[in-house]
Amino acid sequence: MGPVAMRSLDHDYVEEVMARLGRIQADAQPAWGALTRDRLVAHLVGAVRFSMGRLGAMPDQGTWFTRRIMKPLVLNGIVRIPKNVRTRGAARQTPGGIDNLETLHALLEEYLQLVQADELTPPPHPIFGPLDVDEWAKMHVRHFEHHLRQFGV
């Protein structure tokens, strides 16, 4: 399998992601895993919040292999994120559990504003270790595409 098309985390991509997520029906069955549409949105909100340093630290689950071999392969689109990979604590929701498409959209716009203003200092990824802002942007695109494929949109 060749490299996956490189996408940038920018306003156009955010609008595309929101449109694709909006096409997922509430009762849609994923191609793998057990996420529902609503749990997927909450998971994506949690991942973006985590990368903004708003959810505290996650347990380090990385190894030499994930940091030195898998990280560049995934971030550069050479291999896809494997199906059914789990990280401890990754799907944390906001207090009250109200995460929806509007929350995700606003959060992504805020994320882009912080990046543009050079005001984002992201935490280490729980599997890949330290990621800079550009690497986190690549990670978000890979992660979104992974779950959009999961729901066929």
| Overall residue count recorded for the chain in this entry | 153
What's the rounded mean pLDDT across residues 123-149? 96
Number of Cβ within 10 Å of residue 108's Cβ equals 22
* pLDDT tens string 75-134: 999 999 989 887 665 544 444 456 799 999 999 999 999 999 999 999 999 999 999 999
For the chain, helix, strand, coil in percent to 5 are: 50, 0, 50
Compute the average pLDDT of residues 46-66: 94
Secondary element (H or E) of residue 64: helix 64-65
pLDDT value for 68:
97
Distances in Å between the alpha carbon of 21 and those of 61, 103, 145, 150?
29, 13, 11, 11
Share of the chain above pLDDT 90, in %: 80
128: its two tokens? 């890949």
How far from the centroid of its chain's Cα atoms is residue 130's Cα?
16
